[in-house]
């Protein structure tokens, strides 16, 4: 059964289904929907959980074996399958079809996956899962809906933001919901519930000793290598998600690569790319220090870091992020 994200809470309140497939290219929505499923299952007595991280070398027989095994204490359990590519391959497709055809008792299968393309939605494995469980696709929130989403996020924490505050957050996060959620959580810690105006927000952000990914990106663009290293170490120590740091650097590097290789002046290219006016000097400073080939190499480095984030490549993600940011600031 296909459902919208805003329907999930009501469905979970009514009953626990034996299977959930949550997919999409927006990681925050996927992550929070999956958390809601896990929380509801735990409240209903599903106390065991087995996690399966699917990559190119994953053995789908593990899922079959776990589905067919009986718990030592006969407790209810959740099989948590994390499938970044949304492409299970031939063996995975067959394993999922087999599971849907013979669902074990006292077991919930939770699958989180990346964006499903049209071909996957027509596949036999997808139709098999759809026929026995809940399928939910998380779509990106466009610019026209983002202010309402940000406002609702503030309100869920008892905060009443002014329109200027909503615009401020929208400008900083540029469409990334995970960044927006972290920004609002930080303001919640600094300010607490109640009315929130733009002057209070700016003062709180200025007084906060916490580093954020936006400071990192701006320092790298301006060429402040010492500050880049200090911020990176602070982000690591504070437990920042490396995927968000990767996003913050990669989105700026993509703009720089396109403008550097494109026709016309840097001013024209940056404005066409949608760079906010207050950040134009930062981008122009970085463009003056690097050639197009350098930006392309940095984009390749971003792809490597993304592979490490997803467990598809070996390496220390924080070491690689520090190298990338230091290179951008060079």
Q: Residue 141 is encoded by which pair of tokens?
A: 């929130």
Same domain, 49 and 177: no
- Residue identified by tokens 């995970």 is 178
Please spell the DSSP secondary structure of 157-214, one letter per residue. Answer: TTEEE-HHHHHHHHHHHTT-HHHHHHHHHHHHHHH-SEEE-HHHHHHHHHH-----HH
pTM (two decimals): 0.60
Same domain, 85 and 134: yes
Structural domain count of the chain: 3
Vertex 266: Cα angle to 261 and 271 (nearest 5): 110
Domain at 319, CATH number: 1.20.272.10
Same domain, 183 and 277: no
Query: What long-range pairs does 320-324 form, CB within 8 A, spacing at least 24?
Result: 321/232, 321/242, 321/245, 321/246, 321/249, 322/229, 322/232, 324/249, 324/298
Same domain, 179 and 227: no
Kindly calculate the radius of gyration of the chain based on its CA atoms and give it in whole angstroms. Answer: 22
Neighbours of 199 (CB within 10 A): 10
d(CA 22, CA 8): 10
d(CA 301, CA 296): 9
Same domain, 47 and 134: yes
Same domain, 27 and 122: yes
End-to-end Cα spacing for the chain? 52
Same domain, 225 and 151: no
Q: Give pLDDT, residue 209.
A: 43
Neighbours of 237 (CB within 10 A): 9
Same domain, 87 and 114: yes
d(CA 268, CA 233): 35
- What three-state secondary structure class fits 245? helix
Among the candidates 207, 224, 252, a domain finishes at 207
- What three-state secondary structure class fits 50? strand
User: In terms of residues, how long is the chain?
Assistant: 330
Segment 44-75, tens digit of pLDDT:
999 888 899 888 888 999 999 888 886 555 57
Q: Give pLDDT, residue 81.
A: 93
Ranges of residues in the chain whose predicted pLDDT is under 70: 70-74, 174, 204-211
Instruction: Please tell me what DSSP assigns to residue 250.
Output: H
Same domain, 13 and 128: yes
Q: Which helix (H) or strand (E) holds 150?
A: helix 146-155
Same domain, 159 and 194: yes
Domain that holds residue 155: 146-207
d(CA 111, CA 115): 12
Same domain, 274 and 323: yes
Q: Which residue in 92, 22, 108, 97 sits closest to 54, CA to CA?
A: 92
Same domain, 192 and 82: no
């Amino acid at each position: 059964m296909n459902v919208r994200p805003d329907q999930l809470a009501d469905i979970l309140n009514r009953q626990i289904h034996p299977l959930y497939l949550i997919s999409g290219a927006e990681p925050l929505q996927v992550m929070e929907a999956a958390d809601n499923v896990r929380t509801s299952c735990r409240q209903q007595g599903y106390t065991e959980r087995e996690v399966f991280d699917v990559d190119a070398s994953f053995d789908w027989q593990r899922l079959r074996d776990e589905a067919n095994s009986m718990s030592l204490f006969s407790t209810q359990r959740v099989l948590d399958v994390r499938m970044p590519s949304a492409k299970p391959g031939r063996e995975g497709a067959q394993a999922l079809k087999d599971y849907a055809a013979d669902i074990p008792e006292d077991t919930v299968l939770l699958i989180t996956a990346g964006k499903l393309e049209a071909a996957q939605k027509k596949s036999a494995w997808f139709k098999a899962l759809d026929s026995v469980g809940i399928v939910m696709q998380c779509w990106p929130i466009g610019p026209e809906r983002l202010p309402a989403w940000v406002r609702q996020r503030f309100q869920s924490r008892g905060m009443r933001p002014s329109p200027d505050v909503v615009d401020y957050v929208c400008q900083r996060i540029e469409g990334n919901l995970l960044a927006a959620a972290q920004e609002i959580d930080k303001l919640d810690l600094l300010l607490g519930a109640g009315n929130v105006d733009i002057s209070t927000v700016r003062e709180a952000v200025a007084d906060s000793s916490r580093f954020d990914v936006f400071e990192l990106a701006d320092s790298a663009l301006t060429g402040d290598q010492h500050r880049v290293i200090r911020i990176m170490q602070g982000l690591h120590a504070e437990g920042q998600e490396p995927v968000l740091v990767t996003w913050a650097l990669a989105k700026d590097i993509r703009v720089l690569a396109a403008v550097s290789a494109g026709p016309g002046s840097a001013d024209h290219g940056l404005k066409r790319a949608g760079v906010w006016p207050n950040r134009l000097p930062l981008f122009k400073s970085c463009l003056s220090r690097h050639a197009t080939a350098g930006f392309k190499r940095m984009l390749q480095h971003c792809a490597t870091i993304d592979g490490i984030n997803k467990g598809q490549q070996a390496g220390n993600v924080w070491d690689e992020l520090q190298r990338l940011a230091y290179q951008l600031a060079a």
